[in-house]
């Protein structure tokens, strides 16, 4: 279970909207308002409301776009409905004029150079925006991701002083949530794609005071309430997926989590298992792995083996046409260091890594930059 917040701590729970019509059609949405929730999206939002139903929210904010308003209303059906829903324009999705409504496949094939910049250097991605002033069309070049980061900063500056020590629910969009997490913890815009946000995925940030740069990420992209064992990979993705398990054998809560992980992981096919040899590896593996065909197991003695591994993988593009999943068992500091490197954080203090709770780091095929799919997965929110 994720730890309770302290008395003067502000907790912000971030939820992406449920699956939408443009998600279903594999089209770019941006900040256009043509996309609405599908029936599946409404069900996801309702399930999210059930998962959050025991939390007493002091304030609820949502993007004014239809798909987020619909999501918030479904959540409110089963949560603290006495709290008023506030719409905030700073929670709109990244503005992608010219791409909005286009199919992903079309953009990848017909706008190759733009798409390459979007994927590799999102902070440098530029797109043309057309505005009408009287009877004149004015075309300007904008950097959508940088604008989104400024938008996120404005949101924090507005709401944090207003709700110090409270619990706030924010319903927004995938890109916007990444920008909110990033600006709260000083993740730079060139790592904009480093965090995954699934439809109706839940993330949690805790602030110690009203300054948005003094925040700690408590959880990222929890999807177990949607009956997803692990967050789904995007279509056509292959590569290396690491299930990172921090273990402290003296921690009773961690030992309890290990027992729960056995049933949690039985649906996941593991190709290998790496462990740091300071632990009783066999005991841990027997506690959580119950496959008829156990994975290849390797003990590593170097304390910095995860850092070295990450550095080596990041220097090259993977050449694999399938998904390989490995369980990595190490101490909390080692895993925190690895995730900090993946996100480009200067300090691991921005991450609250909990012993016995899985995080998922994915290295896509032919892409050196990893994606943090989830952090601190637990069965109980």
User: How far, in Å, CA of 262 to CA of 273, rounded?
Assistant: 15
**What is the percent of the chain where pLDDT is above 70?**
82
Confidence of residue 286 (pLDDT cuts 50, 70, 90): low
Q: Which of 201, 226, 251 is the last residue of a domain?
A: 226
Pair 315, 367: CB distance under 8 Å: no
- State the pLDDT at residue 312: 72
**In the Cβ-directed half-sphere of 138, how many Cα atoms lie within 13 Å?**
7
Structure tokens at 118: 């979007």
118 within some domain? no
- State the pLDDT at residue 366: 64
User: How far, in Å, CA of 255 to CA of 243, rounded?
Assistant: 17
On the question of pLDDT at 124 being above 80, the answer is yes
Do residue 305 and residue 365 come from a single domain? Answer: yes
Measure the CA angle with vertex 25, ends 24 and 29; round to 5°. 90
Do residue 107 and residue 206 come from a single domain? Answer: yes
DSSP H helix total and E strand total for the chain: 11, 14
137 within some domain? no
On the question of pLDDT at 97 being above 80, the answer is yes
Do residue 159 and residue 280 come from a single domain? Answer: no
- Is-catalytic flag, 17? yes
Do residue 262 and residue 345 come from a single domain? Answer: yes
- State the pLDDT at residue 267: 78
Indicate the angle between helix axes 281-288 and 252-265, nearest 10 degrees. Answer: 50
Instruction: Tell me the pLDDT tens digit for each residue of 306-334.
Output: 877 777 776 665 566 788 888 888 888 88
- State the pLDDT at residue 331: 86
Q: Which of 70, 74, 86, 93 is catalytic?
A: 93
Pair 372, 217: CB distance under 8 Å: no
Do residue 310 and residue 243 come from a single domain? Answer: yes
Do residue 182 and residue 73 come from a single domain? Answer: yes
Do residue 103 and residue 18 come from a single domain? Answer: yes
Do residue 218 and residue 341 come from a single domain? Answer: no
Q: Which of 226, 261, 285 is the last residue of a domain?
A: 226
- State the pLDDT at residue 281: 60
Pair 246, 357: CB distance under 8 Å: yes
Do residue 153 and residue 94 come from a single domain? Answer: yes
- State the pLDDT at residue 1: 43
- Is-catalytic flag, 93? yes
- State the pLDDT at residue 243: 93
Of the candidate ranges 49-53, 130-134, 303-307, the one whose mean pLDDT is the lowest: 130-134
Do residue 219 and residue 366 come from a single domain? Answer: no
User: pTM value?
Assistant: 0.91
User: How far, in Å, CA of 162 to CA of 157, rounded?
Assistant: 9
Pair 114, 107: CB distance under 8 Å: yes
| Average of per-residue pLDDT across 329-354 | 89
299 within some domain? yes
* Distance from chain centroid for Cα 376: 11
On the question of pLDDT at 107 being above 80, the answer is yes
Q: Which of 226, 257, 281 is the last residue of a domain?
A: 226
- State the pLDDT at residue 175: 98
Length of the chain: 381
User: How far, in Å, CA of 181 to CA of 189, rounded?
Assistant: 11
324 within some domain? yes
On the question of pLDDT at 255 being above 60, the answer is no
**28: containing domain:** 10-113+146-226
22 within some domain? yes
- State the pLDDT at residue 236: 62
139 within some domain? no
- State the pLDDT at residue 29: 95
Do residue 184 and residue 291 come from a single domain? Answer: no
- State the pLDDT at residue 308: 78
| Residue 343 Ramachandran class (φ > 0 left, ψ -120 to 50 alpha, else beta) | alpha
- State the pLDDT at residue 323: 86
Confidence of residue 47 (pLDDT cuts 50, 70, 90): very high
Instruction: Tell me the pLDDT tens digit for each residue of 191-222.
Output: 999 999 999 999 999 998 766 557 999 999 99
- State the pLDDT at residue 274: 83
Confidence of residue 300 (pLDDT cuts 50, 70, 90): confident
Pair 145, 94: CB distance under 8 Å: yes
CATH number (domain holding residue 277)? 3.40.50.1240
Do residue 243 and residue 102 come from a single domain? Answer: no
User: How far, in Å, CA of 109 to CA of 127, rounded?
Assistant: 17
Domain count, the chain: 2
């Amino acid at each position: 279970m994720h730890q309770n917040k302290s008395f003067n701590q502000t907790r912000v729970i971030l939820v992406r909207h449920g699956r939408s019509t443009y998600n279903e059609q594999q089209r770019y949405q941006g900040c256009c308002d043509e996309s609405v929730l599908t029936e599946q999206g409404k069900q996801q939002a309702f399930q999210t409301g059930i998962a959050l139903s025991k939390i007493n929210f002091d304030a609820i904010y949502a993007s004014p776009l239809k798909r987020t308003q619909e999501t918030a209303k479904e959540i409110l059906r089963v949560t603290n409905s006495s709290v008023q829903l506030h719409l905030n324009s700073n929670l709109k999705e990244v503005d992608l004029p010219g791409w909005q409504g286009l199919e992903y496949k079309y953009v990848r094939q017909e706008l190759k150079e733009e798409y390459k910049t979007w994927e590799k250097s999102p902070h440098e991605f530029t797109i043309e925006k057309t505005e009408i002033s009287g009877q004149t069309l004015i075309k300007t070049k904008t950097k959508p991701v940088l604008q989104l980061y400024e938008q996120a900063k404005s949101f924090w500056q507005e709401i944090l002083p207003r709700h110090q020590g409270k619990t706030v629910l924010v319903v927004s969009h995938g890109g916007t949530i990444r920008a909110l997490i990033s600006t709260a913890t000083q993740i730079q815009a060139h790592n904009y794609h480093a965090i995954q946000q699934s439809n109706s995925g839940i993330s949690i940030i805790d602030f110690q005071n009203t300054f948005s740069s003094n925040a700690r990420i408590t959880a990222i992209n929890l999807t177990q309430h949607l009956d997803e064992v692990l967050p789904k990979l995007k279509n056509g993705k292959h590569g290396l997926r690491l299930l990172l398990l921090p273990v402290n054998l003296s921690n009773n809560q961690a030992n309890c989590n290990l027992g729960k992980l056995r049933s949690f992981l039985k649906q996941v096919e593991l190709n290998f298992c790496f462990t740091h040899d300071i632990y009783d590896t066999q005991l841990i593996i027997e506690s959580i792995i119950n496959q008829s065909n156990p994975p290849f197991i390797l003990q590593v003695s170097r304390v910095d083996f995860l850092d070295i591994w990450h550095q080596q993988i990041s220097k090259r593009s993977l050449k694999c046409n399938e998904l390989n999943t490995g369980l990595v068992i190490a101490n909390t500091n080692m895993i925190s260091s690895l995730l900090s490197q993946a996100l480009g954080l200067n300090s691991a203090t921005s991450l609250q890594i909990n012993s016995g709770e899985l995080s998922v780091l994915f290295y896509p095929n032919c892409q050196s930059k990893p994606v943090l799919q989830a952090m601190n997965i637990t069965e109980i929110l």
